[in-house]
Amino acid sequence: FGPIFSILVDHCQSKNRLNRLTAVSWMKELINHPHSGKDALLPFYAQILEPILKCIYDSEAEIRQVAETANRNLLDLLKDTKKNFEIRPLLNIFIKELFDRNDVSTQIAALHWINMLLEKHPISMNDFLESLLPVLL
């Protein structure tokens, strides 16, 4: 999946509206695909999530809508997984989004992710509170 998502990540950052829309739409579909989605995506969650969050504050409403759906789907998949996954790469993205973005939609999405991680892995999240709290306050 790595090469596919690398290509899609690049196109999510394109100046061309159609490229961005197509890339985020493909990501949304791959997240839900019965053979390529779910736990098979665990190693790529951070790689997938970052461009999706960036598309949430896109100037085009259609891109924002697809990105918000993809974000919710990815969050639900991670919430429901029974497998272990790396927390730090995800938190690095959330910290960056909360610190760098003035977009409320993206910040709310990042907060939903942080909340889910706190509920799912409260003990593991204790290790990251020191870096997370300054951004939240």
Query: What is the C-alpha to C-alpha distance for residues 92 and 64, in angstroms, rounded to an integer?
Result: 22
19-60: pLDDT as tens digits: 999 999 999 998 888 776 678 888 888 999 999 999 999 999
Calculate the dihedral angle through the C-alpha atoms of 122, 81, 32, 30, rounding to the nearest 10 degrees: 80
- Map tokens 């019965």 to a residue: 34
pTM for this one? Answer: 0.90
Asked whether residue 101 carries a pLDDT value surpassing 90, the answer given is no
Instruction: Count other C-beta atoms under 10 Å from residue 113's C-beta.
Output: 22
Nearest to 22, CA basis, from 83, 66, 79: 66
Nearest to 26, CA basis, from 15, 14, 12: 12
Domain 2-136 class in CATH = mainly alpha
DSSP-assigned letters across all residues of 1-45: -HHHHHHHHHHHT-SSHHHHHHHHHHHHHHHH-TTTSGGGGGGGH
Say what the pLDDT of residue 130 is: 86
Say what the pLDDT of residue 49 is: 93
